[in-house]
Amino acid sequence: MRRTATGAAVAGLLLLLGTACGSRLPESDFENRATSTPRASAEPIRVGVISSATSPVGASAFTGPRDGAKAWFDRLDARGGIDGRRVEVRTCDDGGSGVGNSACVRRLIDQDKVVALVATTALDYAGASQVSRAGVPDIGGQPIGAAYDTYPHLYGIYGSLAPRHGTPGWGGELYGGTEVYRYFKRVHGARTAAVVSYNQSASAAYARLVTEGLRAEGYRVVSEQVDFALPDFRAAAADLKAQHADLVFDALDTHGNSQLCKAMDDVGAHVTAKVTNVQNWTSGVPEDYKDAPRCRNALWATGSSRNYEDTGDTAVREFRDATKGLSTHSQWQLEGWAAARWFTDAAGSCARTGITRGCVDAFMNRGEPYTAGGLLLPVTYERLAEPPKTRRTCLSVARWRDGRGWVTQGDMNTNCFDVPQIAYRP
């Protein structure tokens, strides 16, 4: 698993909740739920997209993957669909609640009869077990919680090595690598890192993982925790300045990040890198961080997908062309686009015999790495009986520069390190 590189990608979401190829149900458990007809039929192929579009976090926090997936399917249908059949996207806003999520799952699976879910982005994925029991492949979802390391038939955008027998990871423990910290230590000579989190359980848990990883890489760690309801970012910024932090990591949402950055500028806390996550890897940086120009230009983001600004890449350029009508662009949109492409490749492999849930799931379970045409670092699913102690892991890195946007730092396929895997409980 790329749990630290991609765990950082979802840290801002993990904190608001409170990174394998799984065992499979017998094919007979779901093959009778085929939701498509033979190739000759013009019936559309239905897919479901669940997002917490309206939630306590804000209206736009969880919509990027949905928008990217819809853009892919719109372009796909304009080009003839899959084997001449258009893809009909059924969206559902779960409102950011577990009850709403379960209702979305029931509607999409039982009423709309979708073949698969795509690019799921749920604050509380309470319906995950229902999806798994129904044998519905969930393709390219964002691993905000532990569901994609828990259940078969769920395939998160970053892959998994866990057994997925119904309990998270291995005996309730997940594992994350230290590649992000190794990168900044090796490439930038960083030695002291601050970790800023809320006094909220998921945020604090993620901060502990980051802290353990930093210490495993030999960093001196400065821990800063602020109140979730009334955060005093200025005090935290003043302390990390006094502690001479080279790096700042966080388990914060976009608003928290912008407020922390403003506080850092206000107190004169200058760092080598303010490292943020995929959720904040967006074109909205100038507005989000408008009051923190120095910190804004120290923003770095890490993840496991190709920078959406890399328009010299053919696959990225196609994404940008298809989404040029959107007011903003983001890494999550690109990952939603990649998830939709993944489903398309799976469904295309089934076109001759029938696009069913079982056939699409078999494609996802075939054991081959997937890159969505180079948009993703190779995604794998395995069922390891024991967690790996070390793993060679690569990461995508970008730095914000005013006037240029997110500037890629090295090739994501060569930013690679052999790193230890650190256990944590979700």
Instruction: Report mean pLDDT in 10-residue bins for the chain, 426 residues.
Output: 43 38 32 39 91 85 96 98 97 97 98 98 97 98 95 98 97 95 96 95 86 96 95 97 96 88 97 91 95 97 97 98 96 98 98 96 96 98 96 98 98 97 88
Smallest Cα–Cα separation from 210: which of 252, 254, 177? 177
* Amino acid 31: pLDDT: 36
In 228-277, which ranges are continuous DSSP H helix? 233-242, 254-267
Q: What SS3 state is found at 5?
A: helix
Residues in a beta bridge with 197: 225, 251
How far apart are the two ends of the chain, measured CA to CA in Å? 14
Q: What SS3 state is found at 338?
A: helix
Q: Cβ(115)–Cβ(46) under 8 Å?
A: yes
Smallest Cα–Cα separation from 156: which of 7, 356, 345, 308? 7
The C-alpha atoms of residue 189 and residue 5 are separated, in whole angstroms, by: 19
Q: What type of residue sits at position 221?
A: V
* Amino acid 130: pLDDT: 98
Q: In what order do the strands lie in the sheet with 390-394?
A: 174-177, 416-424, 390-394
Contacts of 133 (CB under 8 A, 6+ apart): 25
For 108-191, strand residue ranges (E) read 116-118, 138-141, 154-156, 174-177
Place of tokens 């995929």: 278
The C-alpha atoms of residue 245 and residue 311 are separated, in whole angstroms, by: 34
Kindly list the distances between the CA atom of residue 39 and the CA atoms of 42, 136, 164, 425, in Å, as whole numbers in the listed order. Answer: 8, 20, 33, 45
Count helices and strands in the chain by DSSP H and E runs? 14, 15
Contacts of 311 (CB under 8 A, 6+ apart): 317, 320
In 351-412, which ranges are continuous DSSP H helix? 357-364
* Amino acid 424: pLDDT: 87
* Amino acid 276: pLDDT: 87
* Amino acid 27: pLDDT: 32
CB atoms within 10 A of CB 353: 10
* Amino acid 240: pLDDT: 96
Per-residue DSSP letter, 135: T
* Amino acid 25: pLDDT: 32
The C-alpha atoms of residue 225 and residue 220 are separated, in whole angstroms, by: 17
